[in-house]
Structures are given as C-alpha cells and as structure tokens.
Amino acid sequence: MIKFYSKIGATLDKNTKETVKWAVIRSILALSRGIVGTGLRPSITIRKPFNPGMNEIDLEMTLENYYGKKHLDYNDIISLEKKPKKFAVTLMLDVSNSMNFEKISIAAIAIASLSYKLQNDYYSIISFNENAEIIKPINKDWRVEKLVDKILNLKTGGLTNINQALEKGLEELNASSISKNARRRTGILVTDGWVTEGPDPKETAKKFERLHVIEIPPGCVDDELCYKMAKLGKGRYIKVRDFFELTRIAKIV
C-alpha cells in the first residue's frame, strides 16, 4: 500500500489522495502495534499514608509510628506505592537528499512503534536536513495518528547538518522541566552519517547521557563517523541493511 501510494499519490485528486493517505496511516498504525513489546519497566517506590485499595505496607515505618501508642489509626499506617520511572527520548530523523516517500513511510512505521512504546513517557521527534525542525515537542502529548500524518507530509531533500540536529535534540532533553525528572535521557539519531553542512558533530555527541546511532542506507554513508558518535554518546551503533529494519528503533529504548 505504501509503494502504491508513493507511485500514484501525485496523480490523485485531493479527496481521493486524502482517503488513500488515511488508509496508509491505518496500515502503519496496525503494523506498529504488532512490533512493540511491553516488557518490564523500572519503578520508583513512594511511601504515603494508607488509603483503602493500597495493598503493600511499609511494616517498619508503621510499627515505628505506632510505638508508644494505645491505638493504631490510619495515619500511622504507611503504604508503599510503586510507580514506573519515565524515560525521556528524542529521535532525530535525517530527511535530506537520500530520503524519498517510501523511505519516509518506513520511518513512520518505526516512529509510530516508538510512540506506542513511549506513550507513558516523554519523547520528541526532530527531522533534519540543513536545518533541524521539531515535529513533536517533548512536553506535548500527541495522538499517534497525528504524528504519522505529519511524518508522511515531510518534505525531503537538502544538505545534512547532523550537528544542528544533535544540538536541537539536547535542547529537547535538557531544557524541559518535565524531562529533567526522567530516569534516563536518550537520543536516537537516524542518518547515513554523511555530513554536508555544519561543523563536526562528534563534540556535541559527547554531551548526551546516551546516544544511539542508527545508520541507514543507501548511497554515501560514513560508517566511521556513525560509530564514533555512538561511542562518544555511550550508546549503540546499529547499521541497518534496509529501511524495514528501522522498526528495531522501538526495541533499543
């Protein structure tokens, strides 16, 4: 369906094109839901006065509160509540000359998978060529359908300024008061690593708490730069053979 839409989309009238586009979006969402796994999440334990429905009791603190009293009341009982720790993630997607609609659509599958995976966390999406643009801010909640629609409407082309993308990603991870409360702040860079604009991005890569670099085909690629950025960012370097392997993005978070 993605290939069909990419080939004939320009020939369709406005209403038909919109109908076919939303059929593509629904297919992407269905694929993405099938890709994402749940898994165990780290949690933080909060101690608070007992309320009906809270099952776990901090026996030591409760006995300490009760010591020396004749009667135990609700305020003396301390409960334990476990809440999952949230992650903060920013994904930086290369949309320079090496990208076309079909590849953008595969990237949309990966991004939708990431969105389902992080629906209770903080995440942002950034696209970049010679300029970096925030598609989804880290401190705003978006429906996945809206995000996929926006990804499919991205204009591709231009030079590749990886350093600006990394700087914008750091701003998203560090400037938000919400993300500062996250357990971990992670960047995911999806690029071919071929810098044609801006300064060397390696110094900026060092500033990430964790930076994963996913190298995408085809055409000119810079394996060495991608590997070095991941190493400096204390993250993983993954080289995918084709764009369908971008769905692994959700599994490295």
* Pairing state between β 56-57 and 210-215: unpaired
The class of domain 2-38+86-252 in CATH terms is: alpha beta
Exposure on the CB side of residue 117, measured as CA atoms within 13 A: 25
Is the peptide bond prior to 84 cis by the omega test (within 30 degrees of 0)? no
Residue spans per domain, the chain? 2-38+86-252, 43-84
Q: Is 97 helix (H, G, I), strand (E, B) or coil?
A: coil
- Residue 196: pLDDT band by 50, 70, 90 thresholds? confident
> Within 10 A of 187 (CB to CB), how many other CB atoms are there?
29
Per-residue pLDDT tens over the stretch 26-49? 888 888 877 765 444 555 566 777
Mean pLDDT confidence for 74-81: 74
Rg (C-alpha) for the chain, rounded Å, is 23
Per-residue pLDDT tens over the stretch 157-195? 888 899 999 999 999 998 766 666 777 889 999 887 788
pLDDT for residue 235 is more than 60 = yes
Give, for 136, the enclosing helix (H) or strand (E): strand 132-136
